[in-house]
Each structure stands twice: as structure tokens, then as C-alpha cells.
Amino acid sequence: MLAALRSSADLPVEEAELAARLALGIDVVRGSLQRLRAKHLVVLNEEPEAIRLLTARGASAAKVGLPERRFLDALDRHGGALTPEEAAAEGIDGEERSAAIGILRRRGLLEDGVPFRRRGASAAGPDLLPEEVVLKQVAGGEEEVDEAIASALERRGLLRTERRSIKRWAPSEEGRRIALPAEGEEAIGALTPDLLASGGWQGRRFRPYDVRAPVPFLTGARPNPYVAWLEEFEEILIGLGFEQAEGPLLETEFWNNDVLFMPQDHPARSIHDALSVDAIQGHPPPADLLARVAAVHEGRPMPGAAEPIGPGWGGRYDPAIAARPVLRSQTTAVSARFLARRPRPPVRMFSIDRNFRREEVDARHGIEFGQCEGILAEEGTSVRDLVGMFRELAEAIGIRELKIRPSYFPFTEPSIEGYVRHPRHGWMEIFPGGMFRPEVTGPLEVEVPVAAWGIGITRLALVALGLSDLRELFADDLDALRGGS
Amino acid sequence: MPRAVLRRDRVIALLPNPISDSALEDALFASKAEVEAQDADSLTISATPDRLDLLSEGGLALHLQGVTGVASGVPRYAPARARRLVAEIEVDPSVDPVRPAIAGFVVRAPDDAGLDTGTLEEAVRFQELIHATVGRDRRAASLGIYPLDRLVPPFRYAAEPLDAVSFVPLDGSVEIPADRFFRDHPMAARYGPLGRSGNRCLTLRDAEGTILSLPPILNGRAGGEARPGDRRLFIESTGVRDRPVRESLGLLSVVFVARRWTVEPVAVRGPGPLAGDGRSIVTSHEIVLPSSTLQGLAGVRYPPAEVRRRLEQVRLSVRARSGGWCVEAPPWRPDLLTAVDAAEEVILAQALRPEDGIVPPSRTRGRRLPETLFRRRFASALLGLGFAAPFTSILVSEATVRRVPGATPIRLVNPVSAEFAYVRDRLLLSHMEVLGRNTRHGYPQRFAEVAPVIVRDASAEPGAATRYHAGAILAQEGAGFADAASLADYLLRTVDAGSVREPAEVPGTISGRSARVRVAGEPVGEVGEIRPEVLAGIGVPVPVAWMELDLTALGPLLGGPRATH
């Protein structure tokens, strides 16, 4: 095909002509040309063309005459005057009659008024009306016709326009350049095991491939972007000497709240904010720990102590509430469990995990949300270490502007909130933290100060991943996850 | 955070100079309050729940006076010379089962003009904020304000038979019997149960029997309507416990203290947690702040003069004592419980700067939990096999649970919606949802996840255990049991675990084409073909093979660590 094109004197060449020259079916020719085109060896020159054709009514009119001609003929038969009834009897009625009368009057061949009278003396009409000329030309396949009259005939439904393109082909630059195999020599396509085994490839030419041609679309698996980001953040913490901890997602209220000195009637513990589960019975914590926590809540001295740690929340502490299961609402519960195992200071711990709150789901809120919990427990740990850690973490994710404001959490004092300035989102509250209260460390028998924080990691991930909707983190669109679409 | 819309003019009136928008924002930067919006007439302020006093015009102005240096320390609010008690509350034992705690105080205007409309409105608005917060919608505490000069103390707090009570409600003009009030009045519909037990209701009357209020529902018109010009007001609070009652009274007093009213105690006679001379309600409490505590938390030693300056700036008073300070915390600062709270006042009185932070050299070794490293091996292996990696919620929909016959995940008692109504016990449930949401994409679809599930476990402290599963789905023409089983075999081989399969009935799978996988005799996983009716329910047109391994069970069998919780 390429050889035939290259040898053509008159380029570009129509498909039909190529088919005729090579004595191949038109479909074969088209297929070959398309393959050559995919390899950038030929170029297509496609010219749109409009062709006028007779409609079925047009074909009929060409045979029996246009209505206006038939009207003129009928006038002749009736001596130059025709009543509407006579016209109807001649078979010219309705729309056809209106069209005929209109045209004949515009051409000055018919008087106004009824009955219809021929204008002028001429007994016979013109030999050919312009409409008849055009109709005949179209029927004969002529392309140059009077455009205004052809359009009018088209509006009358006698002609139609068909648009099509004429495809003409020529070799491309590369198509002219590449070497074609000499007659009789067969270039090697796929390198087969047979060819390799026989050595039949030796001394032969390899057919060159078009290295720019499209290839099959491959998809695979790649790490979940949210999980991958969380793991990167974990690496930062590990680098700072933090060890990982985990805790159950379904917790008792004791670990989720009580041990953190959250009053048992705290609004965040209500049925409106915390998610409770059906038909599950939890167990109270070890009795000695429970007794210490109860004492702290009630403002009594812990067993064996002379003085109370503080005035507590007053009222009576209810151990039945302590055993109630609840979906964990803060990763601080993990810190409490970790400290209850009495790790030997110095301690640096982190936990990045899911928590739950009873919240309508939208772009900024989710029932499930991630927190990055961290604690520093060591002799001499102070609020300055906490601020230093905020600064370190902010810088690790590329944020340099940080400001610190006072805040409040029932389990820390002082409580602070670190705000960072994001280039796009402005100031964002990202780092809440504080020093665990003696009411928290006392019952856990922790003897060194503990700095703690609970970063809203989901929010931070959104910012880092350039997303605006929380729900995108939970996206499970497989095309996107496979790296497709 | 709690928020309030304050009248700007009433804050400004207590400052020597008007304050610009930006100066106000700066002045509050190092406080627990924040300007959310402001215009010529109003300030929308939010504050952390421990600093509700900043949500009244009076409380905010006191703070601003301190920050701008025009006043310092706790303002004086006790009468110039000690007076005889002006009022007492007698508590009848009948209140005990309903609402046993009551306390109060009297405020006296600084001049003959007495109460002005603005202060009355401020007090009423702040009272409602206290009801909504500390008062837990009046359950824990509710306040009442009364014109003392038109009443005859002592007052009597009792639970009286309904048929002995009739009064003109504050918003009414005719006297109605209590039973009608409880039946018809909108306030009774809302708060009635808090002030009533059986056929008795709580009443607060003066010595002549005039009804001040039916606590905690509504004041009476005759005894409970404070008006402009009143020079002395009696303010009380009732509740079930002493602490919220105390806090609510202390907070409300700041409105009057800021305008130089004096505050006098009201004694409480009879039973109840707050019986006594009432002085503890109106006097400051003292907190000992050892300098070691302050220095430990701050990480820096402040000169004594600096400690004093900072505390007085935030309107606390202080005197030195051996080894530290004694901090005087007024009644409107119930957040100050112990030394650490006083220390916070010093540390945060001026903003902490990022450069104050220190990053001490780490003396610890960072590491991941061995369990999470173990899980990551499976996640990597699945990724390597080309399984896409969704991150799914642990909560699944009611529809999903209904679609998988035999599934028994834990149900939420108070779900936000049916879409998140159950806690998955198998990843399978979440993964059916993933398949259902991806039917528009082509097949094969292969995805996997290593993630937590929660399963019933009576031996676990919360009554259920968090376990980590590796779950995988193959949805494609020709997918079947063997695909799932070979995948489980392969994954187990990657950790050198020899496994056997045994027939098992697994929810959501075709009977006879599902199996339990055991390692060292212990169940560690399940494999199977998903039932066609499950697939039809989610619109999946190809067969689906599924496998799920319980990594929390598997780890210890291979000599790995047990879960730490």
C-alpha cells in the first residue's frame, strides 16, 4: 500500500482509486491505510463535501412534472383560466397548489384573483422553469446549480443535501523516508522461540515498530495515598524517638473518659455525642485503679494517700458507667492504657488511629476521624517541650509559621492549641495539647510530668494531600486506586 | 466552644478608652476567648468551656482591664464593713429526693439608681448561657433572680403538695393552681420533671408565703420579677449536686461585680449539701502554688515579681508564702481547682511563642509495634499481587448487613444514619459496599485491605475485641473458591505458616464452597465464593471470590507478639 502511494503521481489519492489500482476490496484498502496512519506513515486529507440528491418526492416530480408545470399545463387545457375545483379535478390541490400558484405569480405568469388566469398573451409557458432546470441538473448529478433555487426546492422537500467526506491519502514524511523491503524479502516481526531456536533471524532485517504508537492501558495497585501519608508521618515520629502504641477501637468509658478526668456528666459523653453499642457488656478496670480514679473524681484522697489531689468533680462516681462500652472518641485513651502499664521513663509514645464521634457526615466532618496521639514523659518535661515538638512536627511537614494560644481539655493543664499557617488555608488549629493533670497521672501512678497532644491527623492529611473533602480519604473508587481512568 | 453575642457598648463602658477591633483581638490573643465577629454594636465571642465568665460583658471587661493595664488583681466586691446577714434560706427535708442543693447570695447596687435595664438584660442573658452549659439545660443547676426589697426573708425551699400551690407565672397575669401550670405551661412541659416528684413540686417562698419561683422551672410574678431601680437582688441556684450550684452562682456574680455591686452571703439552714453560713459561695478560694510546680510545668523559672504581675494581670490576687504563692481565685473562676490551674494562669498569661519551645535530644528509640510490622507484610504482599488498596470505614450500613445472610456484626444504639449503623466484624461487609459502589467500572476488580474489625469477645475488657484482618476480593469472570484459597495459601506461605482448610458455613458465601483456614490447629481465616443473591443485591455481574485472614490470631501462632491491649 505504501509503495503504491509513494509511486502515485497525483497525490493525495482517493481510497477508491487505490482499491482499483491494487485490485483490492475497498475495506481491505481502508484497513491497511488506517494501520499505516497509526504508525504515522501516511497522512489523511479529508475534505468535507455536500452533495444534493433528489428526495422520493423530488424523483416523482422529475418524472410527472413539478406542480407549477402541471398547473400551467392545466391552464392551457382550460383555455387560460382555471377554477379551484377544476384545479382539484386536475389533481393539483392543497399544499402543491399553493406552492405552484405562489411560484407562478412571482414569475409573473399568473394573475391575482380567482379563478386563476394566465397573465400575458403567451399561450404556452416558458420552455423550462428555473426550478425544472435545477431539478434536472440534480437528477443528472451536476454539482454546479443555482443555489437559491436549490435551497427553495430543498425547503419544499424535493431535494436533500448529503454531507460526506472524501478521504484522500498521501505518504507522510516518514512514509516517504523509510526503507521498504525489497521484493521477496520478508522482515522479521515478532521474535518467536522458533526463530531463536533455529537461528533463522540471522542475516535478516527486523521490521521497525512505530515506537510512538499507542500501547495497551495498564492498571495495577499502588499504596493507598492516605495510608501512605500516615506512614510517612509515623516515620517522622519514629525519627524523633517515639514508639508506637495501639488500643481497642471499642473502649470502656473508663479508659475513654474516666481515667482522663472527664466528668461522668460531661456533655461530650452524652448519647448525642458518643456512639454506643447494643448488647455488649464491658468489664470494670482493675479494682485498685478504679478506686484511685473514683477517689479523684469525688475529690477524696486516693487509698493510702493523706490528701486529695484536688477537689474533683463532686457528686458520686458511678463504677457502672465505667464498664460501659463506647466507640473510642479520643486516642488519649491509648496513652492512658500505655501509661497504666507503667513504662520506665523516659517515654515517648505515639499512636495514629481512628476515633468516632456522632456527627453528620459532610465535607469537613466524619463519624470516623484520625488522631495522632503523642506523649513525652520524662523528669523535667514541660510545656516548652510540647511547644518544641509542635514546631518540629510543623516543620517536618513544611510549615514554618506557628502560633500558640491557651486552650482547654479536662485532662491537661496547662492546655494549649498550636495554630499553623497554611499557604492556602490560612491559620488552622492543628496541635492541641497540654500537660496531663495530676488527676490523670496520680491514679496511673506516673511520677514524671507528661506532655500530651492529640493532633487532628485527618485534617492535616487533607491539607497535605491537597484535598478539600474529608470523604475523599475514604474514597474507594477502584479506577482511581488502581491509577486508572 | 460556647459562644455569646455581647453588647459592645456595655464592655466599652467599663474601659477607660474605646478599643479598636484589632486591639481587641490582640488583647484576647493570649486568653481563652476569641472574637468571632464584631461590629459597631456587638461582639461575638467564643470561649473554652472552662472560661464562661468571659462570655458576659462584665467578665470580659474585667479581663480587658487587666490586659490593658488599667486594673489588676481580684476586684473588691465585699461590702466595706461586715453586715448582718440580710437573708437566709430554710431548706425543708422534702426537697431531698427531688433537688437537694440550694445556695444564694445578695447583690447590692453601688448607688441609689439601683438596677439599670442593661445590667438586668445582661444578667438574664448570661443566666441562660449558664443554664445551657454548667446547668446542663437546668438539670444540674438553674438560677433565679429576685427583688429582695420587695420580699420578706427568710426564704423557704420545700417540695409542697401540688394542691397547696398556686401562683401567677412570671409571664402571666392570673393566678393558676400548680396542677394546671404543670399541665398547660410550655416551661413546665420542658422543665417540669426537674421540679416535681409525684404530687409534690418544688417551691421557693418568702416569709409571707409569696412564691418567688417553682425551681427550676419559672419565677412567680409577685416575688420573682426584678425591675430597673431595684437596689438589692437575691440570687439563688438549685441543683442535684453542690458543684454546679456553686459554679453557676459564682459565674453570675461577675456581671454585678464588674459594675461595683457588692456581694453578700445568704445562709442556708437545714439539710442539703450546701447548708452553712453561705460565705464559701461568695468568697474567693485560695490555691497554693508551689514554685516547684510552676517551674516544672513551665520549664523556666520566673522571677517572683513576674509571677505576681502575670497573675494580677489576669485578675487574680496573690501573696507569697513559703516555697511559693497563695493565689486568690474569685467565685467566677471555678476552673481554678489546684496548683496546676494556677500555674497555667502564669504560663499562659502572655502568649507562648514558638521560639520558647525546646526540642530535647531524644533518649528513647523510636519504633513501630511488631504487630503493625507484621500487618504491613500482608499489605505489601497484597499490593504486590496487584490488589488495589481502599481505606474503608469500620462502620457499615444496615442494608449491607441485611444483604449478607447470617452476618451478626455489633449494632450501634444511636447511629447518625442507617448508612453507618453497624460495626463490621469482617472486612467482607465493607468490601461488599466497595464492590457495590464500583459496578460502573470494568472487571476484573481486585482489591484488598489490612484493617481493624470489632468482634464480640466476652473476655475482652470492653466486651468486644479489636482485631486486624487482611481481606481480599477477586471479582472477575471465572473467579471461584480456588482463587480465594490459593491466595490465602500464598499469603500464609509468605510468613512460613502451613495451613489446612476445613469445610465451614460462612455468612455471605455459597454453602459447600467456603472453608475455615487453620494454622497450628487454630482458626485464622475464611475463604469462599460469595452467594449470587448477595452479588445481585449490589449489582455485581461477575462471580466473586473472597478470603480473609485474622492477623491478630495468626501473629502469636507464629511466635509473634500478642496484641498489647
B462 pLDDT more than 60: yes
**Alpha-carbon gap, residue B140 to B441, rounded angstroms:** 56
A285 chain-B contacts, CB cut-off 8 A: 461
Q: Cell for B316? A: 487574680
Task: List CB contacts of A106: < 8 A, sequence separation 6 or more.
Answer: none
Q: Cell for B342? A: 494556677
B55 chain-A contacts, CB cut-off 8 A: none
**Alpha-carbon gap, residue B510 to B524, rounded angstroms:** 20
Pairing state of beta strands B88-91 and A13-14?
unpaired
Q: Do B88-282 and B370-557 agree at the fold level?
A: no
B539 pLDDT more than 50: yes
Backbone dihedral angles phi then psi of residue A439, each to the nearest 5 degrees:
-65, -20
The SS3 of residue B485 is: helix
pLDDT of amino acid B188: 94
Instruction: Determine the angle formed by the axes of helices A457-465 and A225-239, rounding to 10 degrees.
Output: 110
**Alpha-carbon gap, residue A343 to A244, rounded angstroms:** 13
Residue type, A229: W
Angle at A68 (CA atoms; ends A67, A73), nearest 5 degrees: 95
The domain defined by A227-480 carries CATH number 3.30.930.10: yes
**Alpha-carbon gap, residue A368 to A473, rounded angstroms:** 11
A245 chain-B contacts, CB cut-off 8 A: 369, 564
pLDDT digits (tens, 9 = 90+) for A73-98: 888 888 788 888 888 887 777 777 88
**Alpha-carbon gap, residue B145 to B239, rounded angstroms:** 15
The SS3 of residue A32 is: helix
pLDDT of amino acid A366: 82
pLDDT of amino acid A208: 78
B34: left (phi over 0), alpha (psi -120 to 50) or beta: beta
Q: Cell for B171? A: 409571664
**Alpha-carbon gap, residue B322 to A71, rounded angstroms:** 129
Residue type, B204: L
Asked if B366's CB is within 8 angstroms of A237's CB, the reply is yes
Nearest to B428 by CA among B544, B537, B513: B544
pLDDT of amino acid A126: 63
Task: Give the range among A46-50, B71-75, B457-461 with minimum mean pLDDT.
Answer: A46-50
Angle at B414 (CA atoms; ends B411, B415), nearest 5 degrees: 70
pLDDT of amino acid A485: 45
Of A252, A368, A404, the CB nearest to B395: A368
Backbone dihedral angles phi then psi of residue A386, each to the nearest 5 degrees:
-65, -45
Asked if A309's CB is within 8 angstroms of B338's CB, the reply is yes
Please give the helix or strand (H or E) that residue B243 lies within, else none. Answer: helix B242-257
Q: How crowded is the C-beta side of B81, counted as CA atoms within 13 Å?
A: 0
- Which of B32, B50, B294, B340 to mutate against chain A (most A CBs within 10 Å)? B340
Domain B370-557 fold: BirA Bifunctional Protein; domain 2 (3.30.930)
Chain B, nearest residue to A242 by Cα: B366
Pairing state of beta strands B42-47 and B200-205?
unpaired
The SS3 of residue A42 is: strand
B465 chain-A contacts, CB cut-off 8 A: 248
Largest Cα separation within chain B, whole Å, is: 95
The SS3 of residue A333 is: helix
Domain B88-282 fold: Phenylalanyl-tRNA Synthetase; Chain B, domain 3 (3.50.40)
Q: Give the predicted TM-score (pTM) of the model.
A: 0.79
Other residues' Cβ atoms within 10 Å of the Cβ of residue A38: 13
Chain B, nearest residue to A256 by Cα: B462
**Alpha-carbon gap, residue A426 to B154, rounded angstroms:** 58
**Alpha-carbon gap, residue B105 to B252, rounded angstroms:** 11
**A424–chain B nearest CA distance, Å:** 21
Beta strand segments in A357-465, E: 368-377, 402-406, 412-422, 426-436, 450-456
Asked if B48's CB is within 8 angstroms of A389's CB, the reply is no
Residue A247 CA to chain centroid, in angstroms? 36
Asked if B337's CB is within 8 angstroms of A310's CB, the reply is yes
Q: Cell for B122? A: 445582661
Asked if A474's CB is within 8 angstroms of B140's CB, the reply is no
CATH architecture of B3-67: 2-Layer Sandwich (3.30)
**Domain extents in chain B:** 3-67, 88-282, 285-354, 370-557
**A330–chain B nearest CA distance, Å:** 15
Rg (CA), chain B: 33
Of A237, A325, A474, the CB nearest to B391: A474
pLDDT of amino acid B50: 93
B137 pLDDT more than 90: yes
> What does DSSP assign to residue B119?
H
Asked if B343's CB is within 8 angstroms of A413's CB, the reply is yes
pLDDT digits (tens, 9 = 90+) for B270-307: 998 999 999 999 999 999 999 999 999 999 999 999 99
CB A227 within 8 A of CB B394: no
CB B291 within 8 A of CB B297: no
Which residue ranges of chain A lie beneath pLDDT 50?
A: 485
pLDDT of amino acid A124: 54
pLDDT digits (tens, 9 = 90+) for A104-154: 888 888 888 878 888 765 555 567 788 888 888 888 888 788 888 888 888
pLDDT digits (tens, 9 = 90+) for B2-57: 999 999 999 999 999 888 889 999 889 889 999 999 999 999 999 999 999 999 99
Asked if B366's CB is within 8 angstroms of A241's CB, the reply is yes
CB A193 within 8 A of CB A68: no
CB B556 within 8 A of CB B562: yes
CB A114 within 8 A of CB A122: no
Instruction: Determine the angle formed by the axes of helices B291-298 and B339-348, rounding to 10 degrees.
Output: 50
**Alpha-carbon gap, residue A396 to A242, rounded angstroms:** 15
**A316–chain B nearest CA distance, Å:** 9
The residue behind cell 442573658 is B125
| Complex ipTM | 0.91
Asked if B394's CB is within 8 angstroms of A368's CB, the reply is yes
Other residues' Cβ atoms within 10 Å of the Cβ of residue A214: 7
Q: Using a CB cutoff of 8 Å and minimum separation of 24, what contacts does A154-160 make?
A: A154/A52, A156/A99, A157/A55, A157/A57, A157/A58, A158/A54, A158/A55, A158/A57, A158/A58, A158/A61, A158/A66, A159/A52, A159/A53, A159/A54, A159/A55, A159/A58, A159/A134, A159/A135, A160/A52, A160/A53, A160/A54, A160/A55, A160/A58
**Domain extents in chain A:** 227-480
The SS3 of residue B451 is: strand
> What does DSSP assign to residue B441?
S
Backbone dihedral angles phi then psi of residue B448, each to the nearest 5 degrees:
-155, 160
Distances from the Cα of B547 to the Cα of A15, B226, B428, B478, B483, angstroms? 57, 73, 8, 16, 9
The residue behind cell 451478626 is B408
The SS3 of residue A275 is: coil
**Alpha-carbon gap, residue A14 to A3, rounded angstroms:** 15
pLDDT of amino acid B469: 98
Task: List CB contacts of A259: < 8 A, sequence separation 6 or more.
Answer: A285, A289, A293, A333, A336, A340, A440, A443, A444
Asked if A220's CB is within 8 angstroms of B412's CB, the reply is no
pLDDT digits (tens, 9 = 90+) for B407-442: 899 999 999 999 999 999 999 999 999 999 999 988
A467 chain-B contacts, CB cut-off 8 A: none
Asked if A220's CB is within 8 angstroms of B364's CB, the reply is no
The domain defined by B285-354 carries CATH number 3.30.56.10: yes
CB A326 within 8 A of CB A253: yes
CB A372 within 8 A of CB A233: yes
Q: For chain B, give the percent of residues with pLDDT over 70.
A: 99
Mean pLDDT (chain B) is 94
**Alpha-carbon gap, residue A451 to A437, rounded angstroms:** 10
Q: Cell for B506? A: 460462612
Q: Cell for A321? A: 458507667
